Chain A
Amino acid sequence: MTDVLLIGLGLAGQWCLGIGLAIAIVGPRLLESSAGGARFLIARAELIGLGFVLGIAANSYLQFAWSLAGGLLGRGCSLVFAAGGIVFGLTVWIIRRRPPPDAAIPGENELAEGWVVARCLAVLLIALFLFAMIQALLTPQKFWDERAFYGLKAIVLFEDHSINSPDLKEPDFVQGHPRYPLMISLGEQHLYALLGRVDDRLSKVLFPVLYLGMVFTIAGVLMRHLPLNRAWLGAVLVATIPVLMPDDYGVICGQADAPVACLEGVALSYLWDALATRFSSLGNKATFRASLVIAALVTSFTAFTKDEGISHGAVHSFVFMVILACSLTVRSSKQIKGDWKDALIATLILILIPAVILGPWFIHRRQLPLTGEMNYFGRLSISAIWNGAPTLAWSVPHLAWRMFGEATTWGLQWWFVVMSVFLFPRRALRWPQLFLLLTLCGDIAALLLAGMIAPVMLQEHIGGSSHRYLMQLAPGALLLAFSNIAWHQPSRSIPYE
């Protein structure tokens, strides 16, 4: 019982921290509902979801910053962070709480009809979350990555109370990927510190909670663009991607692929939301910027979770800026020509926020050993790419088979993408959809590139990890496919709920 209370305290602190951050980013103006013109009306589900997503990641990052500055990790630190998160969240909520809804809300009949289905699907999502949580708690950590790369560091951080532990910097200390980011390790360490002991079953509670956060966040984002029942149906589809839940390598284990999938899914949702709002007749700048800030923040946390997050962030930020630039130069009667100042601000947000957040991590990382590190960026060169080109003859068919031939094992999301583009080709060429499509292509190209330059046997490297990499892209793929099929002209602000 004590363990449950302590873990509950830890999660509550993280959640309140995340909610406080979300409200602080979105701002008081954007929480009002008003007649005429859209506002960034953040649904309750979205706020709850963002609370978990931002909270878990930010808590780990703040503990990293604390330790980097010389502070000690441990039970005292974790208790302070938990209590501090609760105080911060409550304070921001009280200062910026939303006013009650006004008469701009749609008619009661329409509201009731949409909400019955939405609420039932929300209950289903909570049931899926509980199912994932039970599954996670029924097994200890048992896979290679979760123990060798993240769990091991978590225990060392718990025992040595610092990211500057001499053993973490020792090249001969037995640890996998010494330079891997610390989001998961610090998150697990936080729970160990609260519990006062290592229990690698209980530390897995973080992963289903991140999953719930992602699903609720995506539901909220979709609610701004789709009718309620469709938005929640989209969230149910995201929640039931087999490779994500309940596959053993998904959210029920302690590996980093599922958290990256959750974070990347949220980041892509907000970038998609920014573009969809920007190009809608109800778009406004404040909404656009708030979505960008959240996306940039989550992108930074994704890179702080696993190195693939760096590549995902680079790809989707680049594609976003290209899409924005193209949209500003193309004349179309259906699209609003934004001004270049907005594009510049978007670029600055997408570059500066990750630079500020990740800068200290990259500086610290240089002190860590290179033992067993792939060092992709160090190996990247024209000659390496040229020499690795023949690997495509194996890796492209392999990936295609993984995505389409093994769909009953890993999920139908890739068939869903193809089908949605085939059924609704014009929708797929809209700027928000094109952004998702090009991002997914860029991410897959990045995997092929990694296979070309990695110093590991290709079939074992890509063959043994492609399903997990594709898991990281699955929420984005589903968002693309579902929004293509279920696209609906936004006609109103979402109601307060």
Chain B
Amino acid sequence: MSHPPASLTRAVRRGLAIGWWAALFLVLAAWILPVEIVENWAAGRARNDDFSKIEAARASANALVFLRWALSATTLVLFSIWLAGRKSAPLISHIIAECWHSMTPVDDAIRWRAVASRLFLMAWLMLAVWHVGASVSRRLWDWPVYRLYDGKTVLPNISDHNRDVIRYLNEATPSNARILVLSDQKLYFLSYYLLPRRLYHPMHPDSEFVIPQPYNQRQLAAYRLAELSPERIEKLRPDYILEYFEGEPFTKDRNLEQDLDWVSYKRRRNQSWRPQYLVALRKYSGEGAP
């Protein structure tokens, strides 16, 4: 095995020393950090209901305990590597030197090409380390919300209105229900989270290739129930018909409180809740007519 430069080996030894001292500092900070601070932070990140806040706080406290032990183990490993500096530093510096020289043939007569390639390699690896760190911070940020639950429990990354409709339908319909939905929303997430229920939504041709925007910034065209023929409805054999409209063209002049079960569901948490959009679920009588 060829010997790397002595300066590189010394630099690696110093790097290992800095690394394990930094890890030791982080470990001490993790052990000293009061759990209450983490719990309060997590509760602030969670959704705005008591259950979510308590869950987030508890999960984050558990995560802090795990993190403490993981950091302690990592520090121990780094300390061992530093202690074994006589063997580990030459090996690490040998790897660095080999990778460095790998970027161009060592006999390349045009030196600036080798320099440019190696500088690029450095930039690449620094960017990779940056992205790894950013990814870790994203996961820490997400942890109070997602924990280790599957999507059906968390209902991630969808609007609060969609979330409410999904939870309402989960309560109000059996798991094998076929639901015909008239809506000015894209219903993919409803369909995904309500399975094994099956959702059917006659797509208006003017909405087929329109990408929706958050908070109804773009109104989509949609069929109203009266615009569907009885034959089309009957062909789908729905058990329920749901009208779910958020846009003003579809909600004006409509009684938004016509579904008393929906209103009752929403007022369980907030007695003074007033509907801003239409959700009306009813059983389908099977006659082919709305």
Contact = CB atoms under 8 A, between A and B. Distances in A.
Contacts of A121: 95, 99
A485 B195 contact: no
Contact of A140 (B99, B156, B187): B156
Contacts of B200: 170, 172-174
Contact of B123 (A137, A412, A485): A412
Nearest to A231: B102
A112 interface: yes
B140 to A, nearest CB: 10
A229 B157 CA distance: 43
A202 B151 CA distance: 10
Contacts of B202: 172
Given A117-B95, A142-B151, A411 B196 contact: no
B142 A198 contact: no
Given A117-B98, A139-B142, A200 B150 contact: yes
Contact of A227 (B102, B191, B192, B196): B102
B277 to A, nearest CB: 19
B110 to A, nearest CB: 8
Nearest to B113: A423
Nearest to A144: B188
Contacts of B113: 423-424
Interface in B124-181: 124-125, 127-128, 131-132, 135, 138-139, 142-143, 146, 148-152, 154, 156-157, 181
Nearest to A230: B102
A242 B131 contact: yes
Interface residues of B, number: 56
B147 to A, nearest CB: 9
A111 to B, nearest CB: 11
B64 interface: no
Contacts of A240: 124-125, 128, 131
Contacts of A138: 139, 142-143, 146, 148
B77 interface: no
Contacts of B181: 174
A8 B102 CA distance: 37
B189 A148 contact: yes
A235 to B, nearest CB: 12
B54 interface: no
B26 interface: no
A113 B146 contact: no
Contacts of A156: 195
How many interface residues does chain A have, given as a range?
35 or more
A148 B188 contact: yes
A423 B104 CA distance: 11
Nearest to A140: B151
A325 B133 CA distance: 47
Given A140-B156, A148-B189, A242 B196 contact: no
Interface stretch (B13-21, B203-211, B267-275): B203-211
A300 interface: no
Contacts of B266: none
Interface stretch (A52-60, A397-405, A453-461): A453-461
B95 A120 contact: yes
A406 to B, nearest CB: 12
A136 to B, nearest CB: 10
B71 to A, nearest CB: 15
A117 B1 CA distance: 11
Given A131-B132, A147-B189, A174-B181, A372 B91 contact: no
A332 interface: no
B98 A456 contact: no
A116 B1 contact: yes
B198 interface: yes
B282 interface: no
Given A147-B188, A152-B195, A172 B99 contact: no
Nearest to A141: B151
A174 B124 contact: no
Contacts of A142: 151, 156-157
Interface in A47-96: none
B151 A147 contact: yes
Given A141-B151, A412-B127, A457-B211, A155 B135 contact: no
Contacts of B104: 485-486
A151 B132 CA distance: 27
A418 to B, nearest CB: 11
Interface string A352-378: 000000000000000000011010000
Interface in B88-137: 91, 94-95, 98-99, 102-105, 113, 116-117, 120, 123-125, 127-128, 131-132, 135
B230 to A, nearest CB: 15
Contacts of B2: 113
B241 interface: no
Interface string A255-270: 0000000000000000
A113 B1 contact: yes
Contact of B191 (A116, A152, A371): A152
B236 interface: yes
A174 B191 contact: yes
B199 interface: yes
Nearest to A411: B127
A383 B117 CA distance: 45
Chain A CB within 10 A, most for which of B142, B187, B189, B198:
B198
B201 interface: yes
Given A142-B151, A416-B120, A242 B138 contact: no
Nearest to B232: A172
Interface string A148-186: 100110011001000000010010111110000000000
Given A140-B149, A412-B123, A112 B102 contact: no
Contact of A173 (B98, B103, B127, B198): B198
11 contacts: A113-B98, A117-B94, A138-B143, A152-B191, A173-B191, A176-B188, A229-B98, A230-B102, A371-B208, A372-B208, A485-B103
3 tightest Cβ-Cβ pairs between the two chains A and B: A148-B188, A140-B151, A174-B191
Interface of A: 112-113, 116-117, 120-121, 131, 135, 137-144, 147-148, 151-152, 155-156, 159, 167, 170, 172-176, 198-202, 227, 229-230, 233, 237, 240, 242, 246-248, 252, 371-372, 374, 408, 411-412, 415-416, 419, 423-424, 454-457, 460-461, 464, 485-486, 488
Given A172-B201, A172-B202, 14 more contacts: A116-B1, A116-B98, A131-B132, A142-B151, A173-B199, A174-B181, A174-B191, A176-B188, A199-B150, A233-B99, A248-B138, A371-B208, A412-B127, A488-B105
